């Protein structure tokens, strides 16, 4: 939307020529976007706009602190790293990550170290997530801000078991898999 930059496809021959908003929801906006291809082809794509998210891998000694919470879209509980959307205007990424860590786990950390950034589902959505590593955890007061968070449980998992939980399908959430694997790689040095 607007000026093209290398991240927007400049140099690729594709140009966004328009966008119609179909729905504005609480979190996402659904749009129909029109593009022109390198040879003048016209194509329309469904696009989901998302404000972005942060996630934290909280490590306490030889354990990682995870949350188990109900995910309505899947109609089941999932074992995840604490995370949340960027929904506070002007809030810095690290502050949002710290807020989510406290809200969901009841822990804070004096320092968060960025592990990685990734796009969640580039086939239709512009959501991006920044993942942080938190160590030296200190107790804080959890503050559930959604119905799901009111019922989540905090679970400690030995770091030595993390890869097995990913391999056996216990942990399937993308941000959690990416965050845990990046954290393990960093901690192993």
Structural domains in the chain, CATH included, are 6-49 (no CATH), 53-188 (3.90.79.10)
- Kindly indicate the confidence band of residue 9, based on its pLDDT and cuts at 50, 70 and 90: low
Report the predicted TM-score, pTM, of the whole model to 2 decimal places: 0.90
Is residue 8 predicted with pLDDT exceeding 90? Answer: no
Supply the residues annotated as catalytic: 148
**Calpha distance 173→178 (Å, rounded):** 9
* Per-residue pLDDT tens digits for 66-92: 999 999 999 999 999 999 999 999 999
Q: Given a cut of 70, is residue 10 above it in pLDDT?
A: no
Mean pLDDT of all residues in 88-103 = 96
Mean pLDDT estimate for the chain: 93
| 121-127-128 Cα angle (round to 5) | 100
């Amino acid at each position: 939307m607007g000026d093209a930059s290398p991240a927007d496809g400049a140099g690729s021959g594709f140009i966004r020529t328009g966008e119609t908003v179909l729905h504005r929801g609480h979190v996402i906006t659904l749009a129909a976007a029109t593009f022109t291809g390198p040879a003048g082809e016209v194509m329309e794509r469904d696009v989901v706009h998302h404000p972005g998210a942060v996630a934290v891998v909280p490590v306490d000694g030889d354990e990682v602190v995870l949350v188990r919470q109900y995910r309505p879209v899947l109609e089941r509980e999932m074992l995840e790293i604490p995370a949340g959307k960027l929904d506070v205007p002007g809030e810095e990424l690290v502050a949002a990550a710290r807020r989510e860590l406290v809200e969901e786990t009841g822990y804070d950390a004096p320092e968060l170290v960025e592990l990685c950034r990734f796009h969640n589902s580039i086939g239709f959505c512009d959501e991006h997530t920044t993942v942080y590593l938190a160590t030296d955890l200190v107790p804080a007061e959890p503050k559930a801000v959604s119905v799901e968070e009111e019922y989540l449980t905090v679970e400690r998992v030995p770091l030595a078991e993390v890869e097995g939980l990913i391999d056996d399908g216990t942990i399937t959430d993308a941000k959690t898999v990416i965050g845990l694997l990046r954290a393990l790689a960093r901690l192993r040095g």
